[in-house]
Amino acid sequence: MEFVITLIANPDRANLQQRHVDHVQTEFGNAKCVSASPSWLAPDIACDIEFEGGDVTGLRNNIASQVSEFGIDAVIQPVLHRRKALLLADMDSTIVTGETLDELAGIAGLKDRVAAITERAMRGELDFKEALRERVRMLEGLPATSLEETLNTTEFTDGGRQLIQTMRANGAYTVLVSGGFKFFTNAIGKKVGFHEDRSNEMIIENGVLTGEVGEPILDRDAKLMSLNSISANRDIPMEKTMATGDGANDLPMILAAGLGVAFRAKPVVEEQAPAAIRYGDLTALLYIQGYRREEFRE
C-alpha cells in the first residue's frame, strides 16, 4: 500500500472507537480506494489503515474534518520513509505548554502587553525579529533571577519526553530549535532529552536584563537553515526528517521537512502544514511514525 492514515485520540480521553475506524474505511470505499485491515497501535488511542488510490488531498481534508467532530486527529502520509531520523521541534507552546517570554514578563507585571505581541507574531502578523526586540526591551532592568523563577513554573506538554526518548532509542537525532532564549532551551532540552538546542541569547549585565537580544536573532529563516544544515551534515535525506511547531516562524521548516506537523497551532500554520495535531499530545508524533505504545520509552 502506498499511503497510511493514522487516527489518534488524546490519551487522556482514549475515545477512538471501532466505529470511527469503520467510518474511515467507508470513506475509502466511496473514494474507490483499496484499504488494508486496520492495525491498532494503542487500544482506544491510535490506529493505522494503509490504503492506495483515490484523491489523497481530498481524503485528507474530508476525513480530518469529520473525525475532528469527535476530538480525533487524522494524518495521511506515504508509507515510505515513515519513521524519521531527524526531528526539529519548537519549544514554546509545543514542548512546553506556554510562552516562556510571556511568563517572564508576568514577573514584571507586563504579561498581557507582551503576550499580545507574542500572539500577533505567532500568527504571522508582525515581523518576528522586531517583535522579539520590542518585547525584550520591555523587560530592561528585570533581575536575572527571574529566569530561574520562570523556569521553575514552566509546564511540559504531555508526551514530550516519550517522543524524544523513543526516537533517540531508535537512532534519530533530535534538536530543540526556538525563537526563545538559551536559558530556557538549554534546561528544557536537557530535561526532555534533546541532543542539542538552538535559540537566542538574552543579554544580562550586573545581574539584570539589559533589554537587548544577542545578534543574529534566530527566526523563521534560521529554523529552516538549521533543518537544512543538520540534515546535510548528518547525511539524513530530507524525506526522513520531521519538524513540528505552532507559530508562523515554524512554518518554513514545517513545509520543508519530510513531514511537517502543526502542533496545536495557529490557523496560518495549521492551514498550510501537511499534518496537524489538534487534540493529541506529543506522543501523536510517535503514532504518526508507526510506533506502537509498547515501543515507547519514558
- Mean pLDDT split into 10-residue runs, the chain, 298 residues: 97 97 94 95 98 90 93 97 98 98 97 96 95 97 97 98 98 98 98 98 97 96 98 98 98 98 97 97 98 97
Q: What is the pLDDT of residue 54?
A: 85
Cell 543538520 found at: 230
Q: Which residues pair with 260 in a beta bridge?
A: 243
Q: Report pLDDT for 94.
A: 98
CATH superfamily of 1-80: ACT domain (3.30.70.260)
Residues with a catalytic annotation lie at 90, 92
CA dist., res. 217 & res. 132, Å (int): 9
pLDDT at position 180 is: 96
Q: What cell was used for 258?
A: 519530510
**pLDDT attached to residue 5:** 97
Distance CA 75, CA 175 (A): 23
Give me the sign of the Cα torsion angle 247, 250, 255, 257: negative
What whole-number distance in Å separates Cα of residue 283 and Cα of residue 288? Answer: 9
Fold agreement between 1-80 and 83-298: no
The number of beta carbons lying within 10 Å of the beta carbon of residue 237 is 12
Q: Which CATH superfamily is domain 83-298 in?
A: HAD superfamily/HAD-like (3.40.50.1000)
Bridge partners of 50?
4
The residues spanned by each domain of the chain are 1-80, 83-298
66 in Cβ contact with 23 (< 8 Å)? yes
